[in-house]
A and B are shown apart, each in its own frame.
Chain A
Amino acid sequence: MTEARPLSGVPVAEAAALLEARGVHVTFHAHGGPVPAVRGLDLTLARNETLALVGESGSGKSAFARALLRMNAPPFTRHRATVSGSARLAGAGDLIAATESDLRGVRARRVAMIFQDALSALNPVMRAGRQVEEALAMARPGLDRAARRAEVGRLFAEVALPESAALARRYPHQLSGGQRQRVVIALALARAPDLLIADEPTTALDVTVQARILRLLGRLRQERGMAMLFITHDLGTVSRIADRVAVMYAGQIVELAPRETLFAAPGHPYTRGLLASRPGRRRPGERLTGTAPDPREVGPGCAFATRCLLAEAACSAHQPLRQVGPAFVRCWKVPA
């Protein structure tokens, strides 16, 4: 199976695809030279599905998400990253090639992104309610003041924030972590986005709060028919929220599978190692050793070969994604 055709673990009609990314490369320009963070990523996201993008640090998952909204260029960052390839959003064209004003429109109305640190995502000197009002003003300029206020109340109720009137008057530092993250989600929902990109939204939260936020996100996604791209390094959250899972390693997708298939019968040795390395699930035989390679030093072949117990000479050749049952695996040793 070549890279050109749509890749999905679940049969997806072309018309239903919300986001189609093809051959995305993201390269950062650091002091030591160019760093290829994402090396040729293909992804299709249907409406109304949750795709989890799993990877450890340096895998390129955040770089890819930010590239979709061009957040790795000024004014978001100091240096511009080079992004190539295409990422077609239904009804908006190619995000990577879009003009800045088109992209602003996309950010305001179609795609919303939430991050890990809710405290820094919120303006510390603006009351919570007012920030959501502002987002509404940009997304739906037709609303008047009263209608906006009512909408803010409705959004707060939707994200299960109690006593919305009192809470709306609080400043971000007066809210708990869970409440802050709910406000950030409300900010995102104010635009009624088709796609919600969540970059590690629950990593900094307590376990019980995490569970609640995940349930909230799942419910919102269902009620609003949103698609969600959920980026995380925690396989626990993946098992709770994802329909499909894409595992990233060294800038490439090494496995793409429906959730049950991934956990029951992981294909790629890295995925197996990752699952076996989770603390508390003792499978010491298959645990991962060593560390991920420096993205600058990765050759054309399999990036995992240096740590793989099954590595052979043939692994140094370029590895395409192959279909293995309902999944796609970037490893020639996995039987089809």
Chain B
Amino acid sequence: MTDAAAPPPERRAAPPRAPLAFQWDKATFAALALAAIVLLGVAAPLIAPHDPDAVDLVSRSLPPVWNAGGTWQHPFGTDNIGRDMLSRCLYGIRTSFGIAALGLVFSSCLGIAIGIAAGLGGRLADRLLMTVVDVFITLPNLLLMLCGIALLGSEIWVLVVMIGLVKWEGYARLVRGQVLSLRETGYVEAARTLGASGWRIATSHILPNLASPLVVILTLAFPGVLLMEAGLSFLGVGVQPPTSSLGRMIGDGRDYLIHSWWISGIPALIIVAITLCFQIIGDGLRDRLDVQLDD
């Protein structure tokens, strides 16, 4: 037997506060840094000092400008066949970031849609969809991606789809769990009493309340997707030459690690920087959004 659970006398009304008010904390700095990196990538065709594919055997394996022997002509040095590292990195950011972003969008849309359908639908729909999810989770990611690429080729859209297919089930599970608990809230019940249809409940009530946890999860998931693309390209099955991606560059430079560390090293550092930014932003977002909810 349960009790007449009267909630405790209510707290004071919170004063209106702007959500995500601007504060100078490390998350903001990380966001600015990330924005700068992305902008550089976007503007690559305009600011790259050289053609990223231009081979120049005379100036091959030049070290970066801060090492002995470096020149300002090639601030990040050149690779083993004389291509300018800075230009390649800028274009590489563009490619890697683009593929990762598209892959994330694809997988999140798929995952969210299936998660909501499973959460709001009846028992049968839920079980069916979750079985599909379970099957996908058990398939080894790398193997799945390699099979897909082997079958469909190495075009960029294939990479996007494969990356998408590999991550969506995690989101589906998460979203389904959130939806199941949101379903029981007072306002969803009130909406049903008002006569709202399932569609209206999903769009007006469930989705907006999924937004904050989802934003945090997706932000923290981005580095993983980026590394997935980098991994594929490192193995040689991702982005194909002459298109440069950060992962590809790391792969190309692995034979020269001792003498020309910068060929692999600088793209790796860029990946680390982007990953770090995302992690800091994700953590900051989580703290901010939590505080907003339970203050």
Q: Quick one: which of B4, B6, B9, B17 has the most chain A CB within 10 A?
A: B9
Interface 9-residue window, one of A182-190, A202-210, A319-327: A202-210
Are B17 and A206 within 8 A (Cβ)?
A: no
Give bound CA distance, A30 to B291, whole Å.
11
- Residues from chain B with a CB closer than 8 A to the CB of A178 are 3
Q: In A107-144, which residues have CB < 8 Å from any B CB?
A: 116-117
Do residues A204 and B295 form an inter-chain contact, with CB atoms below 8 A? no
Contact of B1 among A31, A56, A176, A203 (CB under 8 A): A176
Q: In the complex the two chains form, is A58's CB within 8 Å of B12's CB?
A: yes
Q: Is A290 part of the binding interface, using a Cβ–Cβ cutoff of 8 Å?
A: no
A-B contacts, 13 listed (Cβ < 8 Å): A30-B295, A57-B9, A57-B10, A57-B11, A58-B12, A117-B8, A177-B3, A204-B6, A204-B7, A204-B8, A205-B3, A233-B9, A294-B15
Chain A residues within an 8 Å CB radius of B11 = 57-58
Pick from B8, B15, B17: contact of A203, CB under 8 Å = B8
Kindly state whether residue B5 has any CB partner on chain A within 8 Å. yes
Chain B interface residue count, CB cutoff 8 Å, equals 16
B-to-A contact residues, CB < 8 Å:
1-12, 15, 17, 291, 295
Q: Which of B8, B10, B12, B295 contacts A31 (CB 8 A)?
A: B295
Q: Residues of A with Cβ closer than 8 Å to B? A: 30-32, 56-58, 116-117, 176-178, 200, 203-206, 209, 233, 294-295
- Known contacts A32-B15, A32-B17, A57-B11, A206 near B4 by CB under 8 Å: yes
Q: Residues of A contacting B10 with CB < 8 Å? A: 57
**Apart from A176-B1, A200-B8, A200-B9, what are 20 other A-B pairs with CB-CB below 8 Å?**
A30-B295, A31-B17, A56-B9, A57-B10, A57-B11, A57-B12, A58-B11, A116-B8, A117-B8, A176-B3, A177-B2, A177-B3, A177-B5, A203-B6, A203-B8, A203-B9, A204-B8, A209-B3, A294-B12, A295-B12
Distance of A99 Cα from B3 Cα, bound (Å):
39
> Are A204 and B3 in contact, with the CB atoms below 8 A?
yes
Majority-rule SS of B interface residues: loop
Q: Nearest Cβ distance between residue B1 and chain A, in whole angstroms? A: 6
Give, as a whole number of angstroms, the nearest-CB distance from A214 to chain B.
16
A-B contact count (CB 8 A): 41
Q: Which residues of A contact B8 (CB under 8 A)?
A: 116-117, 200, 203-204
Residues in B whose Cβ lies below 8 Å from that of A294: 12, 15
Alpha-carbon separation in the docked complex, A176 to B4 (Å): 11
Residues of B within 8 A of A204 (CB): 3-8
Bound-state Cα–Cα, A56 to B17, Å = 25
**Cα–Cα distance between A176 and B2 once the two chains are bound (Å):** 7
> 8 smallest A-B Cβ distances: which pairs?
A177-B3, A57-B9, A58-B12, A206-B4, A32-B15, A233-B9, A204-B6, A204-B5
Q: Tell me the nearest residue of chain B to A37, going by C-beta.
A: B12
- Residues of A near B7 (CB, < 8 A) are 204
Most buried by A among B1, B6, B7, B17: B6
* B residues less than 8 Å from A56 (CB atoms): 9
How far apart are the CA atoms of A178 and B2 in the complex, in Å? Answer: 10
CB-defined contacts of A205 to chain B, threshold 8 Å: 3-4
* A181 (CB) vs chain B CBs: closest residue: B3
Are B295's CB and A206's CB within 8 A? no
Q: Which residues of B contact A116 (CB under 8 A)?
A: 8
Q: Once bound together, how far apart are the Cα atoms of A57 and B3, in whole Å?
A: 22
Chain A, Cβ-Cβ closest to B4: A206
Min distance, Cβ B288 to any Cβ of chain A, angstroms: 11
Which residues on the A side are within 8 Å of B2 (C-beta)?
Answer: 177
The residue on B at minimum CB distance from A291 is B13
A84 to B145, CA, bound (A): 64
* Residues of the B chain whose Cβ atoms lie less than 8 Å from the Cβ of A233: 9
Kindly provide the distance from the CB of B24 to the nearest chain A CB, expressed in whole angstroms: 16
**In whole angstroms, what is the CA distance A204 to B11 when docked?**
16
Q: How far is A178 from B1 in the complex, measured between Cα atoms in Å?
A: 11
**A32, B15: Cα distance in complex, Å:** 8
Q: Which residues of A lie under 8 Å from residue B12 when comparing CB positions?
A: 57-58, 294-295
Bound-state Cα–Cα, A146 to B244, Å? 75
Please determine whether B9 and A206 come into contact, CB atoms closer than 8 angstroms.
Answer: no
Residues of B with C-beta under 8 A to A206: 3-4
| Shortest Cβ gap from B91 to chain A (Å) | 44
In the complex, which of the residues A31, A56, A200, A209 has the most CB atoms of chain B within 10 Å of its own CB atom?
Answer: A31
- Alpha-carbon distance A176/B6, docked complex (angstroms): 15
Check A31–B291 contact: CB distance below 8 A.
yes
- A185 CB to closest chain B CB (Å) equals 16
Cα distance A295–B7 when bound, in Å?
A: 23
With both chains docked as a complex, state the minimum distance between the C-beta of B188 and any C-beta of chain A, in angstroms.
24
Residues of A within 8 A of B295 (CB): 30-31
A209 to B10 alpha-carbon distance, docked (Å): 23
Instruction: Return chain B residues, CB-CB under 8 Å to A117.
Output: 8
CB proximity of B138 to chain A, nearest CB, Å: 31
Q: Bound state CA distance, A225 and B2, in angstroms?
A: 33
Complex Cα spacing A204 to B3, Å: 7
B5 cross-chain contacts in A, Cβ below 8 A? 177, 204
- For A295, list chain B residues within 8 Å (CB): 12
**Bound Cα distance from A178 to B4, whole angstroms:** 11
Cα A209 to Cα B8 in complex, Å, equals 17
Distance A178 CA – B3 CA, assembled complex (angstroms): 8
Cα(A294)–Cα(B295), bound, Å = 16
Residues of B within 8 A of A176 (CB): 1, 3
Task: Report chain B residues within 8 Å CB of A32.
Answer: 15, 17
> Chain A: which residue is nearest B21 at the CB level?
A31
Chain A residues, CB < 8 A from B15: 32, 294
How many Å from the CB of B295 to the closest CB on chain A?
A: 6
Nearest B-chain residue to A32, judged by Cβ: B15
